[in-house]
Structure 1
Amino acid sequence: MNIAAIPRSRPAPKARWFVPTGLILLSLVPILAGTFRLTQLAGGQVTPDNARFFDSPLPVLIHIPTVTLYLVLGAFQFVPPLRRGKRGRASWHKVAGRILAPTGLLAALSGLWMAVFYDLPPLDGPLLLVLRLVFGSAMVAFIILGFIAVRRRNYVRHSEWMFRAYAIGIAQGTIVVVTLPWIALVGPVTELSRALLIGASWVLSLAVTEYFIHRRARGPAPEGQTLRDGAAGPELPAIT
């Protein structure tokens, strides 16, 4: 029997939506928090916690909408049927990517600006500031590397870099998954534990990403697909 001739099984239509649905649910955390901030700004409700946003509102007005668009629109890039365009037409993946790359850069750069120039709120210490600068800068670098890769038509490396960039962005939702068990078992967070928990959220999100990248690199190539660098592996969801 010719094993290569056996058609590859495809995920059930409903199963294809598990990943984007989960990502959108994680996205609700930063989206709701951002919506609350924008509502405060619109209503002029100045408090000690948000005074820094009123003093310099432009970065937060850029950050919240771009993060929202990046996380929600990016989640749909993980639906395989949307990644394939009809003949003569650009795929959803390509069209959305032209929006997501600059949107992701704006979200990351505005976040870095706020981390550096806004006064630190309660429980945000120097360690958390350093972590935000490290991971925010990494997100910018990953998006740029992904753009360079796609310009070179290296779609495998492109998908890997963009997957990593999205992992850093979606970690804002992972924070809740990591923090709630800590509060339930240990108690309220301190400046140190808050920094470590948020850092762990970024690390966890990237670790899951690297697992799927590694599994793709070791797996068999999809039917009719050859990776540009010669390595075999199934298609990896990407952002642009």
Structure 2
Amino acid sequence: MRHLKRTEWIAFALIVAFSFIPAIGGLIRVLELAGGPQIAPENPRALLSPAPIMLHIFSSVLFCIAGAFQFFPSIRRHHPTAHRLIGRVVAIAGCVAAISGLWMTLFFAFPDTLQGRPLYWVRIVLGVLMIGFIIGAVIAIRSRNVFQHSAAMLRAYAIGQGASTQTFVGISWIIFVGYEATGPARDGLMIGSWVINLLAAEIVIWTALRPANRSSKT
């Protein structure tokens, strides 16, 4: 990775920092489920069905951290084999994260304070979309359509990074309002975080990726 530019290392560090709080929270939950001391508030759903939660945590962290490398031009240019190998891992991790997230949404019983009907349906739609984007990205690169491949993976990545944005939005809410959001307010913050990510992804796609890949199908 010695060919990575300084700006790319900075971008990677920012992504890791952005993902840090939900990643650490998830890993703490995994340690608890493995028999470690309880640090986070007790979650009865985690105790009843730990497997999908652990799958979701591991796959989400891998998707978000390893996926960051895939957007760096230096890796694609100087390490194409590594880019392809990491891409396969990221695609599998993303699908596992989405499928386990869908499983928990469909089969876990959440109180209305944590998940209302709007958030329930948005989670289902985004989970399906995330899988669809990843599959579309694989099909696009097999057709040598680099722009469509990059755009689809960036959209999937924006969905996968939802927890990171939700963490920062939730903390900001507590700082300014003074209490944790619940009920419809929580639903709105969670959904709004995904909207922010997807809007940011579209801006990057049509301002940064499109000009660079307009004629690139190699």
Q: For the superposition of Structure 1 and Structure 2, which TM-score range results when normalised by the shorter chain?
A: 0.7 to 0.9
Higher helix share: 2
Give the alignment's TM-score, normalised by structure 2. 0.87
| Higher Cα Rg, which structure | 1
Corresponding position of 1:80: 73
Candidates 158, 180, 183, aligned match of 1:167: 158
1:105-147 per-residue CA deviation (whole Å, 9 max, x = no partner) reads 0111001101110110452222221221121121111111111
Corresponding position of 1:179: 170
Q: Does residue 190 of the first structure (1) align with residue 182 of the second (2)?
A: yes
Q: Does residue 15 of the first structure (1) align with residue 12 of the second (2)?
A: no
Give the alignment's TM-score, normalised by structure 1. 0.80
Identity of aligned residues (%): 38
- 1:191 CA displacement: 0.9
Corresponding position of 1:120: 110
Candidates 143, 148, 172, aligned match of 1:157: 148
Corresponding position of 1:136: 127
Say if 1:59 and 1:94 are closer, same or farther in 2 by CA, change over 3 A: same
Candidates 193, 201, 206, aligned match of 1:201: 193
- 1:45 CA displacement: 6.9
Partner Cα separation in structure 2 for residue 130 and residue 45 of structure 1 = 34
Candidates 66, 87, 99, aligned match of 1:97: 87
- 1:217 CA displacement: 6.0
Partner Cα separation in structure 1 for residue 210 and residue 102 of structure 2 = 35
Partner Cα separation in structure 2 for residue 32 and residue 128 of structure 1 = 24
Say if 1:217 and 1:37 are closer, same or farther in 2 by CA, change over 3 A: closer
> Is there any run of 5+ residues in structure 1 with no aligned partner, and where?
1-11, 230-240
Partner Cα separation in structure 2 for residue 160 and residue 218 of structure 1 = 9
Give RMSD over aligned pairs.
Answer: 2.4
Say whether the 8 Å CA contact 1:127–1:195 is kept in structure 2: yes
Say whether the 8 Å CA contact 1:26–1:170 is kept in structure 2: no
Candidates 1, 6, 17, aligned match of 1:25: 17
Partner Cα separation in structure 1 for residue 215 and residue 47 of structure 2 = 52
> Is there any run of 5+ residues in structure 2 with no aligned partner, and where?
none
Partner Cα separation in structure 1 for residue 36 and residue 205 of structure 2 = 45
Partner Cα separation in structure 2 for residue 85 and residue 94 of structure 1 = 12
Q: Given residue 111 of structure 1, which amino acid in structure 2 is its aligned partner?
A: G
Say if 1:134 and 1:216 are closer, same or farther in 2 by CA, change over 3 A: same
1:154-193 per-residue CA deviation (whole Å, 9 max, x = no partner) reads 1110010001101111121111222222222223212111
Corresponding position of 2:45: 52
* Aligned residue pairs, count: 212
